Amino acid sequence: MKNIIIYGKNSFLAKNFIFNYKKQHNLFLFNLYFKNEKIFKKKFIKFVKKNKITHIINFAACNDNSLNNNNSKKIFNSNFSLPLTLLEISNNLNLDIFLFLSKEIDKNDSKYDNFYSLSKNLLLENIKYFKNKNRIRIINIDSVYGPFDLNYERLIPSVIKNILKNKKKKSINLNQSKKMIYVGNVNKIIESLIFSKKKIIYKKIKSTKFYVRSIYNFLKKYHLHKSYDKFKNYKSFITTFDWYLKHYGKTK
């Protein structure tokens, strides 16, 4: 059992990890917002030493990848400055650390076309040249779906909400394919890497391409008839849908 500090507890990835692994590890939540680096470092280090932390998992991120946004400061703060600060702390205190990248940065035409991609690419470049003494785990993922995601601007929550309301929202583009991965699969990999002794791990998590209209029709049929075709890789959508069905009245 490890003593793990979770930063970014409001991330739905973090909520799923806490829900699934709270009995396997001692999970500690650090709540101070990263605004003043000096104050943050002082309090974070004090918290780590007090609770004998061995691992840091940084779930915090600003995922706004739109071309026209006014959140450049927030994006760089969350996706670049914060991870580098945590990396420095983990190195000084010899803690294992988990940081997240996005496969968005692998797209040749989007490497620097928005602040999100730029911040993630700068983080990756800094990690490459960081002289670490501790163990670093870099997780590179595509779009993630699953329970606890209350951002109804995101694709899967939006699709499910509209099925539950029996209303097809015109703003949802069903005629598209999108690479996605279930949150439970991401967290299983994180859990397995907690025990790895390798110094540096760069893990690209494999995702699956789905046709969005197929997901919509699949879940709509399930909702109306409580039955579904046994499509490969679709079972996790049922798990996700059932969570929203149970909690929708509390989360809308």
- Mean pLDDT score across all residues of the chain: 87
Tens of pLDDT, residues 131-177: 788 999 999 998 999 999 999 889 999 999 999 988 766 678 899 99
- Local confidence band at 79 (pLDDT 50, 70, 90 cut-offs): confident
199 three-state secondary structure: coil
Tens of pLDDT, residues 82-98: 999 999 999 999 999 99
What is the rounded distance in angstroms from the CA atom of residue 158 to the CA atom of residue 171?
10
What Å distances lie between residue 250 and 111, 165, 243, CA to CA?
39, 14, 11
pLDDT of residue 128: 81
Q: At what angle do helices 37-50 and 82-93 cross, to 10 degrees?
A: 40
What is the rounded distance in angstroms from the CA atom of residue 30 to the CA atom of residue 181?
27
What is the rounded distance in angstroms from the CA atom of residue 249 to the CA atom of residue 129?
48
Burial of 134 (0-12, 13-18, 19+ CB in 10 A): middle
177-182/208-211 β-pairing: antiparallel
8 Å CB contact between 144 and 182: yes
What is the rounded distance in angstroms from the CA atom of residue 208 to the CA atom of residue 206?
7
8 Å CB contact between 200 and 194: no
Find all residues with CB under 8 Å of 59, minimum gap 6, and list them: 6, 7, 8, 9, 11, 13, 14, 17, 100
Find all residues with CB under 8 Å of 207, minimum gap 6, and list them: 103, 141, 142, 143, 179, 180, 181
Q: What is the pTM of this model?
A: 0.89
Alpha helix segments (H runs only) across 62-114: 72-76, 82-93
What is the rounded distance in angstroms from the CA atom of residue 4 to the CA atom of residue 62?
22
- The residue-averaged pLDDT of 9-23 equals 95
Contacts 24+ apart (CB under 8 A), 216-220: 216/159, 216/163, 216/172, 216/174, 219/159, 219/160, 219/163, 220/163
pLDDT of residue 138: 93
Question: Which residue type is seen at 128?
Answer: K
8 Å CB contact between 116 and 104: yes
What is the rounded distance in angstroms from the CA atom of residue 25 to the CA atom of residue 28?
9
What percentage of the chain has pLDDT greater than the value 90?
A: 63
- The residue-averaged pLDDT of 29-56 equals 96
69 has pLDDT over 70: no
